[in-house]
Structure 1
């Protein structure tokens, strides 16, 4: 066999399809799950018609996204859904585009403040995003109103829903990043996955084939699956997520599902790289309603974490930054003791009624909330009660009525055309899934993902290579990054085999 590809996510499928294009016939793709797609997973809703992407949803950086360009060429479906954000506070209601507060303007200044701290100065220590925003408030408090102090950093926290981490866990240095163009929502990634998979002969892909060992033997690489089968090949491209690959460097994870035993062990550069990067816990909850009976003003709504006038007073009255930081830490600790609720953190709701005409909200959440909600599994009633206050706040501020629970059945006397009747809830399971263990690469204070990216791009050896969103700079964390890395590794192998693309 010429090549074994481990994982049938975007990186693995792109690698295998490209190799097939180069004329490589003896390819084997080994996938642990009972489906292809990896962290791309399209499902249908309660009516059997609606569709949702539980994994990635967007083509990002559409000015330079080669996967997006390919989708355009083949007639792939998508919609540009960039929109103005609506920000909703628990007490005040809508605070977006407020002429007095101008929170969007302050948000842009916080972004510039971060840029100046980390990219126009030398030696600024990396801290949490929360600490960075506190420092901004402390240093610029004389130029800010009490309302701006109270709400501006809560608006900035929408970035938690990019990285999949709470702001106390996020690296301030790596929080902001430039976007190379608009975002296009894929309709849907399941179709993209199927299109690429069709370029690979069906017999080349094996499902339910968990790999447990990769061993270098003389001129071949031997791959062993959980059921004891062995496959031998000239090259092996490993596309498992960073969170799963990391299990291979820890002795205490030898019995963990998904762990791959490398012989020889992963090289020193790769092992060192794992010390400088983490994994985000982005999750989703889909709220499906009977009919749309709320405003389509915007497709993007964020419910802000609760705050109070006391916070503004603390910022104003602190005699030093250390005093302010200690006060905020004490308040956070007290809040934690009160228990978790939907107003402890920002939540990002995609109003699918505007985007695609579906009477649903797709909500994005971050770690550690994701782990908490995903652990509830399929307890829809419990999930609904947790998020109900946020849903009602959205309805109140979007010309709707309070949500009616219709999970079991639509209550008598309720008109679904006038009252939002919740019919179904779909919760992701990425943090609970042993083959994903989270969402995608994310940085905590002090991390430097570049070292791991470089180490994995260089490979374990000339014959054992890596692909995935965690192995590339351009498109890191995104589907286009995974796609490009799969292409990169396929072209590397083709070059080693002195191959050229087969004629059409």
Structure 2
């Protein structure tokens, strides 16, 4: 009998939670001077097949889903090789920066644990001694005219619309999708019990959702509106890289497991031993890797842009699923000041742009034309900085800017609105840092998946289930409904892909992985 204890549903098994933890203080070493062709089938007896050789699996990508898939497979005696395109780090769209003079962590990528009641990664917070903060206190709301009062009921009308969307598409499952902007304007026009002011401002208040899904309400799907969710969000004060370091720890026994700087260009795949052939490019050097199975964790944006060629082509249902699931672009701007000039006791500051007459173009030169959600890093981390979240199409513009002076000047009107003393000048700027996901091909030129108008995201999930015994598996935040777009969702898909391959390869599963649907102490 295994000495590993079987966990309750939803829990990480105790052996994994309590394993030795080491912080990686430097990037993983980059492998050099390796042969061009790698045979990753390891010739050693194992429980694979008739015991004549050990199964080997290639993992494309060293993000959280790839690391988790590799760890589960390795624990079962399966050899793994992770091909990571980035030359200097692992983690994918989890990326913690410490460029600020104060040395504090800034999560350029994922920063929160969502759905904490069913997120098993929450169990690692205490074990890894990660500083955290629940940022679900009362936010402050702003418009161009200043701070909105406590009776700003247009926000409640927007909430009512989100509830109506869910009801409408449940009762009209075959109704055509509508953009959020189109549908909410119809909703408020036909609502008999709201004021004219609420009718004007509710479509602006619904724009808050842009800063969660990473796209504008002009593009976002009403059918899949991810808005009316009751959950707590836990901010990772100490940096999300601590979770990455924990996930990679069991894979560090063999320094050859993770190969950095290997950009996957072509995947030949089949359903027999040694049928996987992966071609990579590292600088101008081409390499080939072979294996018995593969897990592709490339971001959805990469798959949609066909940055990896598959031979033969992907199954029609998987390709259809990819084509019918969009990719968003949430951006962040971190701005550190000499002094705190904003309200210190509120977690977030939410700004709504003013409604415009029909047909009036927005002033793209002004930040006050766009909805933003600004996190108060002072209350969360004790730093004198703000983190402004933005959504596409603004994200692409800001991330393409190279001048700190220009970026600051663009956001300055927003900062002035947040002053507790409106007559005082803003304090000196200390440091400014932005995300660059829309400039990053290895991130798929965006941040995470999102349902835009007309999408059918369930097609991809159904297709992956249809091929759950294939030697070609996929994992990542786009491969799940529960925890979609979140770290814990991506983590879970790594486990699912690994379990699928274990069954396909005939390797007995030890039962120690669980789902993200519940959590136990």
Q: Say yes or no: TM over 0.5.
A: yes
Distance in 1 separating the partners of 2:139 and 2:342: 16
Aligned to 2:436: 429
Aligned to 2:488: 480
Distance in 2 separating the partners of 1:350 and 1:302: 9
Distance in 1 separating the partners of 2:147 and 2:230: 29
The range that moved more, 45-54 or 58-67, is 45-54
- Alignment equivalent of 1:441, drawn from 421, 432, 449: 449
Aligned to 1:153: 203
Structure 1: which 5+ residue stretches go unaligned?
Answer: 249-258, 312-327, 405-419
- Alignment equivalent of 1:22, drawn from 66, 71, 76: 76
Whether 1:384 aligns to 2:439 is no
Whether 1:236 aligns to 2:294 is yes
Distance in 2 separating the partners of 1:403 and 1:281: 33
Whether 1:467 aligns to 2:475 is yes
Q: Verify the 8 A CA contact 1:279 1:438 in the aligned structure 2.
A: yes
Give how far 1:133 is off: 1.2
Q: 1:402 to 1:433 in 2, by over 3 A?
A: farther
- TM-score, with structure 1 as normaliser: 0.84
Alignment of 1:284-295 (within 5 A): 284-295=332-343
Give how far 1:461 is off: 6.7
Q: Verify the 8 A CA contact 1:285 1:364 in the aligned structure 2.
A: yes
Aligned to 2:315: 267
Q: 1:21 to 1:240 in 2, by over 3 A?
A: same
Distance in 1 separating the partners of 2:161 and 2:511: 52
Whether 1:55 aligns to 2:109 is yes
Alignment of 1:167-186 (within 5 A): 167-179=217-229, 181-186=231-236
Alignment of 1:364-443 (within 5 A): 364-376=389-401, 378-395=402-419, 398-399=420-421, 404=426, 420-436=427-443, 437-443=445-451
**Per-residue deviation, residues 406-443 of structure 1 (Å, max 9, x unmatched):** xxxxxxxxxxxxxx322111011001101111011111
Give how far 1:10 is off: 0.7
Q: Verify the 8 A CA contact 2:76 2:507 in the aligned structure 1.
A: no
Please tell me the root mean square deviation across aligned C-alpha atoms, in Å: 2.1
Distance in 1 separating the partners of 2:267 and 2:94: 25
Q: 1:178 to 1:103 in 2, by over 3 A?
A: closer
Q: Verify the 8 A CA contact 1:457 1:465 in the aligned structure 2.
A: no
Aligned to 1:206: 259
Whether 1:276 aligns to 2:324 is yes
Q: Verify the 8 A CA contact 1:97 1:103 in the aligned structure 2.
A: no
Aligned to 1:346: 371
Distance in 1 separating the partners of 2:206 and 2:130: 33
Distance in 1 separating the partners of 2:425 and 2:294: 52
Distance in 1 separating the partners of 2:430 and 2:102: 13
Distance in 1 separating the partners of 2:58 and 2:85: 14
Report which of the two has the higher share of helix: 1
Give how far 1:183 is off: 0.8
Distance in 1 separating the partners of 2:262 and 2:173: 49
Distance in 1 separating the partners of 2:511 and 2:467: 26
Q: Verify the 8 A CA contact 2:335 2:429 in the aligned structure 1.
A: yes
Q: 1:356 to 1:46 in 2, by over 3 A?
A: closer
Give how far 1:137 is off: 1.4
Q: Verify the 8 A CA contact 2:128 2:242 in the aligned structure 1.
A: no
Give how far 1:262 is off: 0.8
Give how far 1:455 is off: 1.8
Q: 1:4 to 1:164 in 2, by over 3 A?
A: same
Report the count of equivalent residues. Answer: 447
The range that moved more, 457-466 or 238-247, is 457-466
Distance in 1 separating the partners of 2:467 and 2:309: 16
Whether 1:223 aligns to 2:281 is no
Give how far 1:502 is off: 11
Give how far 1:500 is off: 4.2
Q: Verify the 8 A CA contact 1:266 1:460 in the aligned structure 2.
A: no
Whether 1:107 aligns to 2:116 is no
Runs of 4+ in 1 over 6 A off after TM superposition: none
Aligned to 1:411: none
Whether 1:360 aligns to 2:385 is yes
The range that moved more, 476-485 or 148-157, is 148-157
Distance in 2 separating the partners of 1:433 and 1:361: 24
Give how far 1:264 is off: 0.6
Give how far 1:215 is off: 0.8
The secondary structure found in structure 1 opposite 2:295 is strand
Whether 1:69 aligns to 2:162 is no
Give how far 1:147 is off: 2.4
Distance in 2 separating the partners of 1:475 and 1:425: 31
Distance in 1 separating the partners of 2:404 and 2:418: 19
The range that moved more, 278-287 or 41-50, is 41-50
Give how far 1:103 is off: 3.1
Whether 1:451 aligns to 2:459 is yes
Q: Verify the 8 A CA contact 1:6 1:30 in the aligned structure 2.
A: yes
Q: 1:445 to 1:96 in 2, by over 3 A?
A: farther
